[in-house]
Structure 1
Amino acid sequence: MMVNVGLGAVFTAGIVFTAYMLMDSWGGASWVFGSVVSVVVCALALLRERQKTLIAGAGVAVTAVAVVVSIVTGHSMPQEPAPITALAMAVLVGSALRTLPLGPATGIALGGVLVTIGAWVDGRTAVTYLATMGMAGALVLGLSLRAVDRASRANGPARRSSWSSGSPQR
């Protein structure tokens, strides 16, 4: 719960900051599309514990559509995924890798990697580097936590001696 509260605060601050910076640099309504995409993907990241496969897949799909729109429109719109969108997608991919069965987790991770490759097709910018670092972190962290969870389940609960059980010894 506290993780989601913290993520929500980071997502909100990032969306507002990005919108402000786009209003200042690109002008006009350039900030609207990226902000809507960010809000949707961030909301999905916050709801990731419900229907994990569907929500993670939807987040990657929304981000993929944003990247395609960014490529098609050329330089008339800011590049996607925006940094906060990339962070939210990384949260979804990392969570999927940690918790989902191997098949769906692999599909979602592959989708995230393809979205990141799409960002590179759109051009080399700070946005591209941030998206790549986020995806790399999601892949490493998600797989690492999956291995830790698997090892802890394999070892089972720690054995307790009679002294730690709380019952008096006679």
Structure 2
Amino acid sequence: MKEVTIYTDGACSGNPGPGGYGAILQYGPHRRELSEGYRRTTNNRMELLGAIRALELLQEPCAVTLYSDSKYLVDAIEKGWVDSWQRRGWRKADNKPALNRDLWQRLLALLERHKVRFVWVKGHESNAGNNRCDELAVAASRAPTAVDEAFEQENSLPQ
């Protein structure tokens, strides 16, 4: 399997509000940056979407080390929270609905294809990959062009 390194970050101005994600994929000497801004979303959705979009770009099964400053993303996978939510019909231990089910399901499907090790890094510190992803995510959040349809449908504002 090819070994790929991915850095991801999400940003949101207000929560919910305009948001964006940034991601960097590295394979040997190759490097690709990606980002996208959404008009109304949440920070956690952007953290998840950054990882999803990066993994979706991989054209064959890969061994991936994915760095993120999101405890929500990393702990949900590494501590098995998302597996528990799924087993309980997408309910958390307190019986409240697990948020972002649509994105978790997309991510879980990608994890069946790729061997991914999630690594938490402290945000806004000395990790150059994470810092660059933060720049990409913030810039994307300031120029949102995409619609987070699932979020907006579930959280529609009264007319």
Instruction: Give TM-score, length-normalised by structure 1.
Output: 0.31
Structure number with larger C-alpha Rg:
1
More strand by proportion, 1 or 2? 2
Instruction: Give TM-score, length-normalised by structure 2.
Output: 0.33
Instruction: State the structure with bigger RCO (CA 8 A, min sep 6), 1 or 2.
Output: 2
